C-alpha cells in the first residue's frame, strides 16, 4: 500500500493537466485561484473558467485572466445552469492526460500537480489521486512538509474504507482524475447536488485504483459564510441525509455482488447512525433540544435497526425524558466519541483513509 515517491516526469514527458474552474459570483477570488494553477511547475496546464451567468463581475475577471495567460480560456453559460450542469459541460470537453475540478474560491498548493502526476505516471492503474487539503479562512499557511511517500489502494479496498468512515475522505480541490477514467465513468449526477463528489469518488474507485500523496498540502480549501456548502446545504441532518443518498446511489448502480453490497450498506448505516446520535447528544447538551437535534435522532433510528444498542441512543433517550442524562455517563461517552473522532482524523491526516 505504501510506495516510495519518485520523480517520473522529465523533459521528454510533460503531462497535460486540464483544470476546470466553475464560477458563480466568485470573481473576487478568481485571480488567486488561476494564479495557483498557472504557476505549477513540471506540468502543462490548460485552464477553463466557466462562468454560470454570474450577476457580478466574474466573467469580466475571467476574460481579463484569459487575455493575461495564453493557457486560460473563459466561457459563460447563457443562463444559470447550476453547478452540476456546469461541471458536466466542462468535463465532457476535456482532452488532457489528467483533470482537476477546482472551485473558484479554492487554490492549489505549490507543486501539487507535479506530485500527483508523478504518482499517476508511475502507476497507470491509478485513476484518482488526492492529498491533504488545508482549510483556511483568510490566507493559507505556507508549510514545508516533505513528500513522504505514496499510498495506493485497490479501488475496492478504498471503497470499503470510505463506507467505514462515513464522512467523505476527499473534499474536492485536492483531487486529480485520469481523464480517460473520468470519461469512462461519466460525470456528476444531477440528483445529487450536495453529495455528488462523494458518489463520484466511489464510482471512480470502482474502475481504477486510488492513490494519495502523503506529506505536503495538495490544495487550499477556503471556508467562508458565502460558500455553496454553507449557504445552500447547511445543517447536520441535511448533510447526513445527502451522504446517505450518495452511498445508496452508488450501491444501486455499482453492480456489486449482493453480499458485498449488503455488507457495505450495513457499515454505512451504522456509521451514519452513530454520527447522527453523537451529534444529537452533543448539540442537545450544548444548545438544548432543538428541532434539528430531534431530527438527527430520528434519522439515526430510521437508518439503523440496531440504533437502541448504541450508548449515544441511551444518552439521548435520557436527555429527551428528563432534560439531561447523568453527568458521569455523558462525560465518559463524550470522551469515547471524541477519542474515536480524533483517531479517525489522525488516520485520515496521516494515511488518507
Q: How much is the pLDDT for 346? A: 76
Q: How much is the pLDDT for 238? A: 95
The domain defined by 2-224 folds into Spore Coat Polysaccharide Biosynthesis Protein SpsA; Chain A (3.90.550)
Grid cell 473558484 is found at 104
Task: Work out the number of other CB atoms within 10 angstroms of the CB of residue 150.
Answer: 26
- Tell me how far the alpha carbon of residue 218 is from its chain's centroid: 13
Question: What percent of the chain is modeled with pLDDT above 70?
Answer: 90
Q: How much is the pLDDT for 12? A: 59
User: How buried is 56 (Cβ within 10 angstroms: 0-12 exposed, 13-18 middle, 19+ buried)?
Assistant: middle
Alpha carbon distance 300, 282 (integer Å): 14
User: How buried is 161 (Cβ within 10 angstroms: 0-12 exposed, 13-18 middle, 19+ buried)?
Assistant: middle
Residues in the chain predicted with pLDDT less than 50, given as ranges, are: 11, 228-233, 326
Read off the pTM: 0.90
Q: How much is the pLDDT for 229? A: 47
Alpha carbon distance 105, 221 (integer Å): 8
For the chain, residues classed under CATH 3.90.550.10 are 2-224
Q: Residue 93, SS3?
A: coil
Q: How much is the pLDDT for 289? A: 86
Task: List the beta strands (DSSP E) in 195-349.
Answer: 209-222
Amino acid at each position: 500500500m505504501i510506495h516510495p515517491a519518485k520523480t517520473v516526469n522529465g523533459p521528454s514527458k510533460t503531462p497535460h493537466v486540464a483544470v476546470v474552474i466553475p464560477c458563480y459570483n466568485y470573481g473576487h477570488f478568481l485571480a488567486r485561484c488561476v494564479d495557483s494553477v498557472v504557476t505549477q511547475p513540471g506540468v502543462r496546464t490548460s485552464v477553463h473558467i466557466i462562468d454560470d451567468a454570474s450577476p457580478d463581475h466574474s466573467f469580466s475577471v475571467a476574460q481579463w485572466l484569459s487575455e493575461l495567460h495564453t493557457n486560460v480560456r473563459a466561457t459563460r453559460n447563457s443562463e444559470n445552469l447550476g453547478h452540476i450542469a456546469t461541471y458536466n459541460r466542462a468535463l465532457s470537453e476535456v482532452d488532457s492526460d489528467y483533470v482537476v475540478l477546482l472551485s473558484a474560491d479554492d487554490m492549489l498548493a505549490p507543486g501539487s500537480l507535479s506530485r500527483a502526476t508523478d504518482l499517476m505516471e508511475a502507476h497507470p492503474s491509478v485513476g484518482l489521486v488526492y492529498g491533504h487539503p488545508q482549510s483556511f479562512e483568510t490566507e493559507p499557511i505556507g508549510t514545508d512538509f516533505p513528500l513522504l511517500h505514496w499510498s495506493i489502494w485497490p479501488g475496492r479496498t478504498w471503497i470499503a474504507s470510505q463506507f467505514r468512515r462515513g464522512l467523505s475522505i476527499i473534499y474536492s480541490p485536492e483531487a486529480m482524475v485520469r481523464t480517460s477514467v473520468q470519461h469512462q465513468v461519466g460525470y456528476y449526477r444531477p440528483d445529487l447536488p450536495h453529495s455528488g463528489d462523494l458518489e463520484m469518488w466511489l464510482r471512480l474507485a470502482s474502475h481504477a485504483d486510488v492513490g494519495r500523496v502523503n506529506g505536503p498540502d495538495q490544495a487550499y480549501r477556503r471556508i467562508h459564510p458565502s460558500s455553496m456548502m454553507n449557504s445552500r446545504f447547511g445543517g447536520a441532518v441535511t448533510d447526513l441525509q445527502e451522504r446517505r443518498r450518495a452511498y445508496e446511489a452508488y450501491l444501486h448502480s455499482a453492480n456489486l455482488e449482493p453480499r458485498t453490497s449488503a455488507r457495505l450498506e450495513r457499515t454505512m448505516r451504522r456509521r451514519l447512525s452513530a454520527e447522527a446520535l453523537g451529534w444529537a447528544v452533543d448539540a442537545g447538551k450544548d444548545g438544548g433540544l432543538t428541532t434539528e437535534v430531534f431530527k438527527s435522532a430520528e434519522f439515526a433510528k430510521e437508518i439503523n435497526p440496531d440504533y437502541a444498542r448504541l450508548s449515544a441512543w441511551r444518552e439521548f433517550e435520557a436527555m429527551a425524558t428528563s432534560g439531561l442524562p447523568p453527568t458521569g455517563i455523558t462525560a465518559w461517552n463524550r470522551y469515547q466519541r471524541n477519542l474515536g473522532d480524533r483517531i479517525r482524523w489522525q488516520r485520515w491526516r496521516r494515511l488518507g483513509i
